[in-house]
Amino acid sequence: MSEPSPELQQLLQDLACVMFPDHPEQPVTLQSRGYDGDSALHVVLWQGNERAAQLLIDAGAEVNAAGEMGETPLHVAARQASAETLARLLCAGARLDSLSEFGQTAADLARAAAREAVWQQALQLARRHRPGKQPAKPPRKGA
């Protein structure tokens, strides 16, 4: 495995203060989890830092990591990220059928945030970037 880029190294170092406020000297890696269970990818998505999310995804961050309340990075992104970032998560293998502790998929959260159009655009972008590989469909409610 190659050495992380200086930009990625700086990002991970900066995230230590957010993920470990009591121990900001603790090193952060792609696999690190904060006290609440969120990964570095969760944190940058909560912050709305899509460039950082892109760096982490491209570096191999776990896109299906369940964090606080069982939410994956896709759940977090569904509330506020661009269609491009959502599509990047999907192309990296984010699962559409992952359920939070409240039984919600990322699509449910996008709908609740009045972001259905962004969600649909992300699905279209993901299909274009992964021809022949469709994002996994979530289970139908009540099925």
Render pLDDT for 116-139 as a digit per residue (tens, 0 to 9): 999 999 999 999 987 555 555 544
Reported residue count of the chain is 143
* 14: number of Cβ within 10 Å: 15
Q: Would residue 47 count as lying in a domain?
A: yes
Render pLDDT for 8-27 as a digit per residue (tens, 0 to 9): 999 999 999 999 999 988 89
**Verdict on whether the full-model pTM lies above 0.85:** yes
Q: Would residue 140 count as lying in a domain?
A: no
Residue 108 is part of which domain span? 6-129
Number of domains in the chain: 1
Q: Would residue 134 count as lying in a domain?
A: no
Q: Would residue 89 count as lying in a domain?
A: yes
What is the CATH classification number for the domain harbouring 101? 1.25.40.20
